[in-house]
Amino acid sequence: MANKLPKILFCCLANRLRSRTAYEYFSVKYAGKYEVDSCGLGKTSVKQTQMEHWSSAKHFTKELYQSADYIFCMEREHVMEIMRRNNDGGWGLDLTKLYCLDIDDIYHYNDPPLIELLEKKVPEYLESLTQI
């Protein structure tokens, strides 16, 4: 039986631009090393009014969170939203696997500057986390 790969979950508001780009990029880059997934916080987020077609994206759930080893949020606001849902729902989630990449919502899907930023930040985090 093969060992289960560690799972990375990328999370942003709508799972349309930043987290989707991260998912697609790192699914290829880390194939065979990590399982990669992505989700959006959906319509309960503070920026709900700015979202279009949010219903077609994969949404954040307790189960999705629990299945991941590393959760990378694009903004601090997303970290706070997950913590709020954890507290309000009494989920008892392990919040130590939650990390903020501090990537603002200014990029388009597959935007080269976004990929550059992800390529700089994500491997640094993973290297520091896997050496603990």
Task: Please compute, for residue 21, the number of CA atoms within 13 A of its CA located in the half-sphere on the CB side.
Answer: 22
The three-state secondary structure class of 30 is coil
What pLDDT, on the 0 to 100 scale, is given for residue 95? Answer: 87
List the strands of the sheet with 70-73, edge to edge.
35-40, 7-12, 70-73, 98-100
What pLDDT, on the 0 to 100 scale, is given for residue 130? Answer: 73
pLDDT digits (tens, 9 = 90+) for 10-64: 999 999 899 999 999 999 999 999 999 999 998 544 444 444 444 457 889 999 9
- Residue of 75 and 45 predicted with greater confidence: 75
Rounded to 10 degrees, what is the CA torsion of 37, 53, 88, 92? -10
What pLDDT, on the 0 to 100 scale, is given for residue 50? Answer: 47
CA dist., res. 67 & res. 54, Å (int) = 22
- Residue of 125 and 50 predicted with greater confidence: 125
pLDDT band at 128; cut points 50, 70, 90: confident
What pLDDT, on the 0 to 100 scale, is given for residue 55? Answer: 47
